[in-house]
A = this chain, B = another copy of it.
């Protein structure tokens, strides 16, 4: 991605880049629900479609972007905990707004669609 391209752009374009990936918002939401969480614990809370490979990659991306922190305990078996960084915590405002809007959107679209005949549902 290149940091110099990333910063200095407008907030919306920057935010959009940061929020790439299929799962970043949901991960951020789960992380905002508790102080820290282990890898497999997080994995279990994610939709089943998501593989651990993908989760691992996504977490690495979020970490590089500065949204989350990764803490590794020197133990066997390994223990790694993820949590929101400072700027990640401030993202909570966005998450809340997004969660509210998302619910409204789902209702809205379901209502809209149930009023349509089948031919328009394609």
Residues on A facing B (Cβ under 8 Å): 3, 6-19, 22-26, 28-29, 47, 66, 86-87, 90-91, 93-106, 108-110, 112-113, 121
Contacts and interface: CB of A to CB of B under 8 A. Distances in A.
A-side interface mostly: helix
Contact of A3 (B17, B24, B121): B121
17 contacts: A3-B113, A6-B109, A7-B110, A10-B26, A10-B102, A11-B105, A12-B28, A13-B26, A14-B102, A15-B98, A15-B101, A16-B23, A66-B109, A90-B104, A93-B101, A94-B97, A96-B97
B7 A16 contact: no
Contacts of A28: 12
A8 to B, nearest CB: 7
A106 B66 contact: no
A94 to B, nearest CB: 5
B47 A13 contact: yes
Given A94-B97, A112-B66, A103 B11 contact: yes
Contacts of A87: 104-105, 108-109
B98 A11 contact: yes
